[in-house]
Amino acid sequence: MKQDVLKGLKPARVWHYFGEIMQIPRPSKHEERISAYLVNWGKEHGLETKSDKLGNVLIRKPATKGYEKSPVVCLQAHMDMVCEKNSSKKFDFMKDPIQPVLDGEWLTADGTTLGADDGIGVATILAILEDTKIQHPALEALITVDEETGLTGAAGLSKSWLKSDILLNFDDEDEGEYCIGCAGGIDTTVEIDYNLVAAPKGSKAFRLHVSGLKGGHSGDDINRGRGCANKLINRILWEGTYRHGMRLATIDGGNLRNAIAREAEAVVTVPEKDVRAFKTMVTTMAKAMIFEFRSTEPELVFELRDIDMPKKVIDKETQEKLVNVLYACAHGVLAMSREIENFVETSTNLASIKMKGSKIHIATSQRSSVESAKMAAAAKIEATFRMIGAKVSHGDGYPGWTPNPDSRVLKVGVDVYKKMYGREPVVRAIHAGLECGLIGQKYPNMDMISYGPTLRGVHSPDERIEIKTVEMFWNQTLEILKKLK
C-alpha cells in the first residue's frame, strides 16, 4: 500500500489507523480479519475488550481524572465497507488492500471505494482510545459488523452489552451537521425462473453496455436525479424486444442493494433484416437519454458492439415478462416529507439484476422515515413482480430513528461547534439508514447524535473524503467529550 500519501495528514494518529484499516479486507459479512485486528488491538493496549458471536467488538476505557461520575459515552462506528469498483479495475476485495490516492484537498482510491465509510470513524475511535492526554468520561467503543448490507451487527446486539448513557455515532458524511434521525429500510428480492433456448438463426449478436453513471448511496443520493443503469438499459431492451425482434441472452446490472446501479450490460441477438433499424434505434435512444441526464450524468455512455453469437437465449415469454416488469418497477423518490422541507420520506432502489443458474435475481431496497410507508413501498414492489408470477421475499428490515430535538448531547455539540467555528451547525434527519435506530430500539434511554467529516460519492468508486474536515471532526469530538462532564 502507498502509505506515503497519508504522511503529513492531520491528525496523524487518525490517518495512521485509517492506513492500517485500508490494508485489511473487510467486505460486509466478511469482517473476520478486521474484527480480530480490533480485538487484538484492544488487548495489546491493556483495555477491556470483547467480541460477540457476530463479530461486533466492544472496547472499554476508564474515565480520566475528574470524569469518574460523568455519563458513560459510547463511540460507535461500523467496520465493514461497501465494495464497488470500476469494471475495468482488476481488484479482489477479499485479498487486496485499498490503494489511496491524494487528489488535492481530498483522499480517494484507485478505481475502488475508499472505505472511509466508515473506516475513518473506526480510525478516530482507535486514536481516541490510544491517547492518554484526552479528557473524557468512561468510554465504550462499539464497532459493529455488516452495517452496509442489513445492519445485522446492530440488530444482533445484546441488550445487556452496553452501559452507556450517550452515543456518538461517527457515520455521518457532512461536516458541519448533526444528524438526529434516520429512515428505516427493508430489502425486497425477486426470483424469476427462465429457460434457455437455442439462439435464433439468421441473427447477429451485440453487447450493449451502459456506463459512466455516478451511482452513489441509495438513500442519500436517491433524490439527486441520477440515472439507474438498470432502468436505462431496459428502455433499449424493451424497445428492441417489441420493435426489432431482439432476443436477450444475458443481463447483468448493478451490484449492491444500497448503491444506485452505475453500470449494466446485456448480450442480445437481432434478426439480420432488423440490424440496421436496431442500431439506429440504439443510437437515437442513447442520444435522447444522454440529453435527458445531461446535468446529472455528464459522463453517461452507451456502447453497442458486435460479438460472436451465443448458443442460447432466454425463452421469449420470460424475456417479455422481464422487460415489462423492469419498466414498471418503481425506482427513486416515492414521497417527500410533509413536515420537513426538501426531505425525502420514502424511496425505492432497483439495485441489481443477476442471472444465476436458472433464475434471474433482482435486488431492491425501500426506505422511509414512516414505518407504514416503508412497508407500503415494499408491498408495491412485491405486487409489481407478483403480476408476472415471480417469487418475492423481504428481509427483516430495520427501524428508523425518531429525532429528539431536546437531546442533551445535541445541545452540547451545537454549543461546541458554534464556539469552535463561529457558525451554527445544521441539525437534520437523513434518508439513509443508521445503526442508531436499532441501537435506540435496544437502549431506548440512550441519548444519540451522528456526525463526521465530509465524504462524497460513497458506495461508489468515486468515494472520497475531504482531508481538512477530518481534523475539524477530531477537534470537535475531543471538545464534546471534554464538555460531557
Catalytic residue, from 80, 165, 263, 345: name it.
Answer: 80
- In order of 64, 193, 234, 269, 355, the CA distances from 200 in angstroms are 76, 21, 21, 8, 20
- Cis check for the bond before 96: say yes or no (omega within 30 of 0): no
209 vs 220: CA distance, rounded Å? 26
Q: Is 32 a catalytic residue?
A: no
Asked if residue 233 lies in contact with residue 208, where contact means CB atoms within 8 angstroms, the answer is: yes
For residues 86 and 461, the answer to whether their CB atoms sit within 8 Å is yes
The C-alpha torsion from 243 through 292 and 332 to 155, rounded to 10°, is 110
The CA-CA-CA angle for residues 467, 472, 477, to 5°, reads 130
Q: Is 103 part of the annotated catalytic residue set?
A: no
Q: Which residues contact 201 (CB under 8 A, 6 or more apart)?
A: none
What does the alpha-carbon distance between residue 99 and residue 83 come to, in Å, rounded to a whole number?
Answer: 13
**How far is 15 from 91, CA to CA, in rounded Å?**
23
Residue 313 dihedral angles phi and psi, to the nearest 5°: -135, 165
- Annotated catalytic residue within 84, 147, 263, 297: 147
In 177-257, DSSP assigns E strands to 177-182, 184-193, 196-198, 203-211, 247-253
Classified as helix, coil or strand, 77 is: strand
CA–CA distance, 229 with 167 (Å, rounded to integer): 38
Assess contact for 184 and 254: CB atoms under 8 A.
no
Nearest-angstrom CA–CA distance, 247 and 270: 6
10 Å Cβ neighbour count for 205? 18
Amino acid letter for position 10: K
Cβ neighbour number for residue 359 with a 10 Å cutoff: 15
The distance from CA 348 to its chain's CA centroid, rounded to whole angstroms, is: 14
Active site residues: 80, 147
